Amino acid sequence: MSTVSVTCPLCEATCGLSVTLDGSRITSVRGDDQDVFSKGFICPKGASLKALHEDPDRLRQPLVKRDGVFEAVSWDEAFAEIDRRLPPLRAEHGKQAVAVYIGNPGAHNLATLLYGRLLYKALGTRNIFTAGSVDQIPKHFSSGYLFGDPLTIPIPDVDRTDYLLLLGANPLVSNGSLMTAPDMRGRLKAIRSRGGRVVVVDPRRTATADAADDHLAIRPGTDALLLAAMVQVLFDEDLVRLRHLADVVSAVDEVRDLVTPFTPEAVAPAVGIAADEIRRVARELAGADRAAVYGRIGTTTQSFGTLASWLVDVLNVLTGNLDREGGAMFPLAPAGQTNVQSGRRRGFMHGRWRSRVRNLPEVMGELPVATLADEIMTPGDDQVRALFTVGGNPCLSTPNSARLDAAFEQLDFMVSMDVYLNETTRHADVILPGPLPLERSHFDLLFYQLSVRNVANWTPPALDCDLPQEWQTMLRLVGIVNGQGPDADVAALDDAVAHAQARRAGLDPALAGERTGPARLVDLMLRAGPYDLTLADLEAAPHGIDLGALQPRLPGVLATASGLIELAPPAITADVPRLLAELDRDADQLVLIGRRQLSSNNSWMHNLAPLVRGSNRCTAQMHPDDARRLGLVDGQAAVVRSRTGQVSLAVEITDSIRPGVVSIPHGWGHGMPGTRGSVSEAHAGVNSNLLADELLVDEPSGTAVLNGIPIEVCAAG
C-alpha cells in the first residue's frame, strides 16, 4: 500500500487529495489534511476519482469509424487515418475549413493547455471555439479593457474581507469559478464569524444564499441594471472613495454620466428589487471597511454579460476596494501569466477578425460557439468542413445543441480527443483517448492566477498508463499538420518547443536537465516566474507551497496603453444604450435559468454511479405561484418550450426560486444512439441547451445567453 498526494484537476478549487494505492488499484481518495491550501477539503466529485478510473466505459484504445461503425485500432492506424484524410482536405479547402472546439476539461489539463496551442497554431485557422463563450468570456473582455490583459482578473480576497457581494454565483455548489478557493463554505462562515456580511444576488435561494446574511432575488439577466443603479447611488450620495486608486484610474466622470439614468427607482421594476433595497446594499458596500464584489456565471451568460462584468469592477474601484487587502485583488501566479514580467503596455483588442456568417467578434483569439453550426452549415468560401474537439461535449453544452448536432453530421472529417464515446464524439471519424487524471502530471497553470491565495503545487502521475500522454498525441498531430506525416519525431518537436520557450524567457533550456514534456515546460516557467522556484522545489513539497496572501500589485499589473485603469472603455460603454432600453423590458415573460449541482461536472461525470445516485436531479424548478397559474403539481411532467426547441421533464415546485423563473440544470440529455455510457444512459435527463437560443448573445463578446431565455411551460400530454 502507498499513499500519494495529488491536486484534484476536476474543478477550479484545486483541492489536495490523498490517494491510497494497492499496486495499481485505488483503495481510497480523501482530502489531504496537509495540503497548504485546501487543508483536507474534498467534494463528491473528487471522491469519485476511483470510480472514474474504474469506469468500464472509458476508452482505452483509439477508435476509427468505418462504414458508420467504430472499430478499435492501433495508435499508428489512427494517426494514419488522420494523415490520409486531413491534409488533402486542407489542401483543397484551405486552413479555415478546419475548426477546433476546446471543452472545459481542456482548462484543467496541463498537457492540452501547453501543447494544444501548437496544434491550433499549426492548423492556422481562425475558427477556434471554446467552452469559454458559453461561460466566462465577458469577464475576460471586461478585464482586458479595464486592466489591459484579459487574464488580469481581480479576485475577492475572501479570507480578509468584511463584506462580500456575490452575484450570479453559487460557490458552495460550484466550489468557486474565476475564484480558486477550496472550502468556500468554511471561508464564507469565517467572514460572518469575524463580524462581516455576505450578500447574495440570485434568482434562486441557492445553497450559498442560504449560508449568507442576505439574499436578493433578482430577475434573471438584469444584474447590469442593478449594478448600474448601485454605481449611480455612489455618485448621487457622494460615496465614491477612490483612496489609493486616485492616481491610477481614468474616466471616472464618464462613468458618472453614463449611469445617471439608472436610478434605483428607474431600474427597480425591471430588476424586481425595491429601490430602497438597492440603495441599502450600495450604502452597505460603500460603508464596509473592506469589501469585494464578485459576479459569476449568472452575470456572464446573459444578455448584458460584458456590462455586468465591467460594473462589478467599477464598484470595486469606486469604493476603493480594488487591489486592497480584503477587497478585490490580483493574484501573482508562480507560472503562466506574463503580463507582469513583460512590462509591455499594449492594451487589449477584440474583433481582430469576425465570424464568416454572423459577423460575431473574436475575443482572445476565439469565436463564439453560438455560431459554430452556422460556420459548418452555410456554404461558401472558408466553410468549416472538418473539426477537432479536445474534451468537452458541445452537443449537450452549447445553445441550440440540436442544430449543432445536425451540423456535425455534415462534417467531412472529425477528430476527437476524449476518454468517452459521448453525444459529441459519436460524430467523430477518429477518437484519440488519453490518460485519466491520476495517470498524468498536473499543475494548475490557469487557476493559480485566479486564486484567493498564492500557492503552487505539482502532481506527478500516480498511476502507470499504457496510453500515450496527450502532449505526445498533440505533437504527432502537429507533425501531420506540418506535413511531417504520422511518424514525426515527437522528441525533436518537444525539444523545439522547450527551446523556444526558454529563448523567450531568456533561459538556458539545459537548466531543465533531462526532463521532457510538460514537466520541462513548467520547470522553465517556474524559473522565469516571480518566486525563484524550480520544479524540484515543488517535487520536494507534495502538499504544495504556500506563497502567501494576495499582495497589492498596482500599477505594475496594468497593461493598458495609458498605464491606467481605463474605467470607461468605449468597447464596453458602447453597449450602455442597449442597457437603457432594457428599462422597458417585459417583466412578465417567463424565463429559463440554469442550475449548478454539486455532483455534476457539466456533462462528463454523469457516467459515474456515485455521482448520479439518488432522486432525479434533472427537474424544472418552479415557484408555487407559477405552478398554480399553469395548473401544474409537484412531480408532474411538463413541456418547456423556447424558440429553438422543447423538452419534457418533471416539475419540482419550490419557493426557493423567484416567481417568473424556471430552472433546469445543464449537462443532461444522455442516451443518444451511438454513445457508450451505461450509467449516464440510465440517468439520461433532458438537455436544457435544446432551449438555449443561439441567436441570443451578449453583443460585445458574442457569449451565449444561458440565463434569461424566454420560455413557455404547459402540462405534458
Contact criterion met (CB below 8 Å) for 176 and 15: no
Q: State the Cα torsion 315-317-323-324 to the nearest 10°.
A: -80
Strand partners, 695: none
* Residues ≥6 apart with Cβ < 8 Å to 359: none
In angstroms, the CA 481 to CA 454 distance is: 38
Site for ligand SF4 in 14-73 (CB under 6 A): 14-15, 42-43, 45-46
Output 182 or 272, the one with its CB closest to ligand SF4.
182
> If binding is defined by CB under 6 A, does position 191 make contact with ligand SF4?
no
In angstroms, the CA 424 to CA 409 distance is: 10
Output 45 or 595, the one with its CB closest to ligand SF4.
45
Contact criterion met (CB below 8 Å) for 637 and 715: yes
Output 175 or 319, the one with its CB closest to ligand SF4.
175
Nearest in space to 427 (alpha carbons), one of 458, 464, 396: 396
Choices 13-21, 57-65, 95-103, 254-262 (CB under 6 A): range interacting with ligand SF4: 13-21
The three grid cell numbers given for residue 400, joined into one nine-digit string: 441550440
> If binding is defined by CB under 6 A, does position 175 make contact with ligand SF4?
yes
| Least gap, CB of 108 to ligand SF4 (angstroms) | 9
> If binding is defined by CB under 6 A, does position 182 make contact with ligand SF4?
yes
| Binding-site member from 13, 80, 231, 591 for ligand SF4 (CB under 6 A) | 13
Torsion sign across C-alpha atoms 403, 404, 407, 409: negative
DSSP category for residue 182: S
Output 213 or 439, the one with its CB closest to ligand SF4.
439
| Binding-site member from 8, 228, 538, 545 for ligand SF4 (CB under 6 A) | 8
Output 7 or 400, the one with its CB closest to ligand SF4.
7
- Measured from each CB, the residue nearest to ligand SF4 is 46
Cβ burial 491-514 (10 Å sphere, 16+ → b, else e): eebbeebbeebbeebebebeebee
Choices 3-11, 115-123, 329-337, 695-703 (CB under 6 A): range interacting with ligand SF4: 3-11
Contact criterion met (CB below 8 Å) for 611 and 48: yes
Output 45 or 197, the one with its CB closest to ligand SF4.
45
Output 377 or 436, the one with its CB closest to ligand SF4.
436
Output 13 or 311, the one with its CB closest to ligand SF4.
13
> If binding is defined by CB under 6 A, does position 11 make contact with ligand SF4?
yes
| Least gap, CB of 692 to ligand SF4 (angstroms) | 25
Choices 7-15, 319-327, 337-345, 704-712 (CB under 6 A): range interacting with ligand SF4: 7-15
The residue written with cell numbers 469592477 in the block is 313
| Least gap, CB of 17 to ligand SF4 (angstroms) | 7
Strands (E) across 192-306 are located at: 197-201, 214-216, 249-250, 291-295
The three grid cell numbers given for residue 162, joined into one nine-digit string: 468584511
Q: What are phi and psi of 315, to 5 degrees?
A: -65, -40
Output 11 or 421, the one with its CB closest to ligand SF4.
11
Choices 10-18, 125-133, 237-245, 659-667 (CB under 6 A): range interacting with ligand SF4: 10-18
> If binding is defined by CB under 6 A, does position 259 make contact with ligand SF4?
no
| Least gap, CB of 453 to ligand SF4 (angstroms) | 15
| Least gap, CB of 15 to ligand SF4 (angstroms) | 3
Q: Which of helix, strand or coil describes residue 648?
A: strand
Q: Which DSSP helix (H) or strand (E) runs through 549?
A: strand 545-549
| Least gap, CB of 6 to ligand SF4 (angstroms) | 10
Contact criterion met (CB below 8 Å) for 44 and 50: no
Using DSSP bridges, classify how beta strands 16-22 and 2-7 pair: parallel, antiparallel or unpaired.
Answer: antiparallel
In angstroms, the CA 198 to CA 284 distance is: 11
Output 8 or 245, the one with its CB closest to ligand SF4.
8
CA within 13 Å, CB half, 554? 25
Output 392 or 517, the one with its CB closest to ligand SF4.
392
| Binding-site member from 10, 131, 228, 308 for ligand SF4 (CB under 6 A) | 10
Contact criterion met (CB below 8 Å) for 339 and 254: no
Q: Write the interaction track for ligand SF4 spanning residues 315-354; mark x where CB under 6 A is met and - where it is not.
A: ----------------------------------------
Residues of this chain that bind ligand SF4 (CB under 6 A)? 8, 10-11, 13-15, 42-43, 45-46, 175, 182
